[in-house]
Structure 1
Amino acid sequence: MRRETRTALSLVGVVVTMGALAWAAVPFYDWFCRVTGFGGTTQVSSAAPDEVLDEMVRVRFDANVDPNLEWTFRPLQTRMDLQIGENGLAFYEAINNSDQPITGTASYNVAPEVAGYYFDKIECFCFTEQTLQPGERIEMPVSFYVDPRIVSDRDAGRVRDITLSYTFHRTEPKRAALDSAPAETIN
């Protein structure tokens, strides 16, 4: 095989490998963050643990809105004190300030980041898209707990103040949501 052909095939191989790695990077990073709590990524659970400790933790609530989203978004409580392992239920409010339906998705994290591995959500509005009609106001729940294993973690064991932060971003609604929306009436 000629040297130029080998070089060309090697370069094509490098490009294909780089493309495959770039394609796999996003799902791998998402998986890594969920498994390790990296970057303050929270965990998902089906139920609160049976064990509730006598130690308390304070959870603060934060809300932000992407500038391209014409919503008001805020927590209905600024903080909650609960026992480690106890199920907490907090509410956020969203209002569509525009004259058109808007769909948004919430991204989230906790601070300090080391607490992300021990902050578990049972139910959350952030798991699905939210579509608000013009002027619509909704209250959205988040059910969560702080895993009792946090107290034995060398780095997170002394964390007793955690901030749960959400940012709503404008998204295009999924096709199923469009299909279930009521049709407009033309007079």
Structure 2
Amino acid sequence: MRMSPQNRTMTGLLGVAAVMTSLSFAAVPFYDWFCRVTGYAGTTAVATSESDVVLDQTMLVRFDASTSAGMPWEFKPVQKEMEVQIGATNLAFYEAYNPTDRVIAGTAGFNVAPDTAGGYFAKIECFCFTEQVLQPGERVSMPVSFYIDPAIVDDREGKFVKAITLSYTFHTTALPDQQAALDLDNVAAPAAVRN
């Protein structure tokens, strides 16, 4: 049985649509991987240990914080800036406060400006690596341990960077299952007392 030209065209178009849809889903993880490897778009590097080399040169690191729409936390850097030695491990702190009467979970997205410095800003430990859960009225101090890779001074564009800004934005996320169950128990208990 032969297909009509209209059916062949429709089948071809559906195939193209299926391939394009598949590629769009693959693009997100590929872009994420590409940014992590190259530092593109201000994506920072993740280090498993401290730098082996510490230079005499210093660089200014500025800290910035914000929250996404709908995130009720108060979030700010403890220090506005630090002068750091290139290659030396540093510790900075951010503070988050949950002013509400409910448990809220959040994750921090981050980037570095200028973009050319992203791949040279290496985080060893960071609160942004995991989800944070704050109880009602809870205030926490969250550390980020980092260094600036000495290779930045040999980079064609990186060698001109004199200051780096590390920015975080906290977004609301769903509560972990265990915490959500506790939250439901706390909501159900007062209802039972009222009846």
TM exceeds 0.5? yes
Matches within 5 A, 1:14-33: 14-33=16-35
- Report the counterpart of residue 37 of structure 1 in structure 2: 39
Let me know the Cα RMSD of the aligned residues: 1.8
Matched, 1:108 2:110: yes
CA distance in 1, matches of 2:36, 2:179: 27
Contact 1:91/1:140, CA 8 A, preserved across alignment: yes
Matched, 1:123 2:114: no
SS at match of 2:159: coil
- Report the counterpart of residue 175 of structure 2 in structure 1: 173
Normalised by the length of structure 2, the TM-score is 0.90
Which residue, out of 47, 62, 65, partners 1:63?
65
- Report the counterpart of residue 140 of structure 1 in structure 2: 142
Contact 1:42/1:121, CA 8 A, preserved across alignment: yes
CA distance in 2, matches of 1:85, 1:180: 44
CA distance in 1, matches of 2:164, 2:178: 36
- Report the counterpart of residue 155 of structure 2 in structure 1: 153
Structure 1 residues 146, 132: CA separation in 2 closer, same or farther (over 3 Å shift)?
same
Which residue, out of 57, 82, 85, partners 1:83?
85
Contact 2:103/2:183, CA 8 A, preserved across alignment: no
Give the structure with the larger helix fraction.
2
| Deviation sequence 1:97-148 (CA, Å, 0-9, x none) | 1110011111100111110010010010011111101100000000000000
How many residues were matched structurally? 187
Normalised by the length of structure 1, the TM-score is 0.94
Kindly name which structure, 1 or 2, has the bigger radius of gyration based on alpha carbons.
2
Q: CA deviation at 1:182?
A: 10
Question: Percent identity of the aligned residues?
Answer: 53
Structure 2's unaligned 5+ residue stretches are none
